[in-house]
Amino acid sequence: MTETTENITAEKKAVFPQEKMENSGPVPENQTQVNTESYQLNNLTPFAESIIQVSGEKLNNCYQCGKCTAGCPITYAMDILPHHIIKMVQLGMEEKVLTSKTIWLCAACETCGTRCPNEIMLSPIMDALRQRALNSKYKNKIGEKATAVFHREFLSSIKSHGRVYELMMMAMSIMKSGNLINFILKFEWVSYLKLLFAVLPKGKMSLFPHNIKKKKEFKNIFKKLNNAQKV
Ligand code: SF4
Ligand code: SF4
């Protein structure tokens, strides 16, 4: 073990003393060191209970083995490791979780779920956390604003049409992400235009929205989800 690795491992052991270090590996420099020692996990916090209810995942069964994190392909970009997110949800650390980049960077690949000895799928948990973040008092402190805008526009398109209307979704995402000036001045629109000319003739995208027949059923799903989020 190099001197640097030893230092990082010693530092991490101080933060997560009971953690099985062999599964987690060293913490990259860009990731938050979270001190959970001051928290006691006796019962589930209301935050954890609501995330379990919305996601349907029994995250209270997590015993921090770290196998999910060891297999996650996105940890290099995350500010909090996936198994730490689970621990922090259990402990009710709402602000840190809802303002993290991690919940927006999860690619829903489900590698973690296939590795977990307790069959906990992290992607529905991340979904529930994203939705919670958008409806919470931390909605102005979201860790990945552009991704959050894209997420909201995607859902809004599904809600309106029952399927994605890509052209409007892209336009609204660019306008609302606060990147419009760069988009124009740095000629980013050129690559979008090329994409459009490539996909429109092939019918991969449409200039106009196509609605599904049972749009109302979709709206009911959204209504139920919103009600669950308010619990
Ligand atoms: S693999 Fe499962 S039990 Fe292990 S830390 Fe991840 S969520 Fe928890
Ligand atoms: S679903 Fe998300 S947290 Fe799980 S391995 Fe994939 S990117 Fe990582």
pLDDT at 227 (0 to 100): 75
Domain spans in the chain, listed from the N-terminal domain onward: 12-141, 145-229
Half-sphere exposure of 215 (CA within 13 A, CB side): 13
Look-up of token digits 């919305």: 54
| Ligand nearest, relative to CA of residue 64 | 1
CA of 27 to the centre of ligand 2 (A): 17
CA of 2 to the centre of ligand 1 (A): 28
Picking from 39, 35, 40, 32, the residue whose alpha carbon sits closest to that of residue 14 is 35
Residue labelled with tokens 């052991």:
13
Rounded to whole angstroms, how far apart are CA atoms 194 and 31?
37
pLDDT score of 24: 47
Nearest to 110 by CA among 73, 61, 144, 77: 73
Is 12-141 in CATH node 1.10.3470?
no
Tokens of 108: 């829903």
Q: Which ligand is nearest to the CA of 75?
A: 2
Instruction: Determine contact, residues 64/58, Cβ cutoff 8 Å.
Output: no
Q: Tell which atom from ligand 2 comes closest to the C-alpha of 110.
A: 1
Q: In the prediction, which pLDDT does 49 show?
A: 93
**CA-to-CA distance for 128 and 56, rounded, in angstroms?**
9
What atom of ligand 2 comes closest to residue 105's alpha carbon?
7
- What residue ranges line ligand 1, CB within 6 angstroms? 62-68, 83, 86, 115-118, 120
Nearest-CA residue for ligand 1 atom 4 is: 65
Q: Are 130 and 148 in contact (CB under 8 A)?
A: yes
pLDDT at position 160, please? 87
Angle formed by the axes of helices 82-90 and 46-55, nearest 10°:
120
Angle among Cα 52, 93, 226 to the nearest 5 degrees reads 45
Walk along the chain (231 residues) in steps of 10 and give the mean pLDDT of each run: 41 42 52 51 82 93 94 95 96 95 95 94 96 90 87 88 89 85 86 89 87 84 75 52
- Say how many Å lie between the CA of residue 228 and the centre of ligand 1: 25
Helices (H), the chain: 3-15, 21-24, 46-55, 67-71, 82-90, 94-98, 102-105, 111-115, 122-134, 145-161, 166-176, 180-185, 188-199, 215-229
Predicted confidence (pLDDT) per residue in 42-60, tens digit: 578 999 999 999 999 999 9
Report the run of H or E that residue 176 belongs to, with start and end: helix 166-176
Instruction: Give the residue among 142, 137, 55 at the shortest CA–CA distance from 103.
Output: 142
| SS3 sequence of 210-225 | CCCCCHHHHHHHHHHH
Residue 77 near ligand 2, beta carbon < 6 Å: no
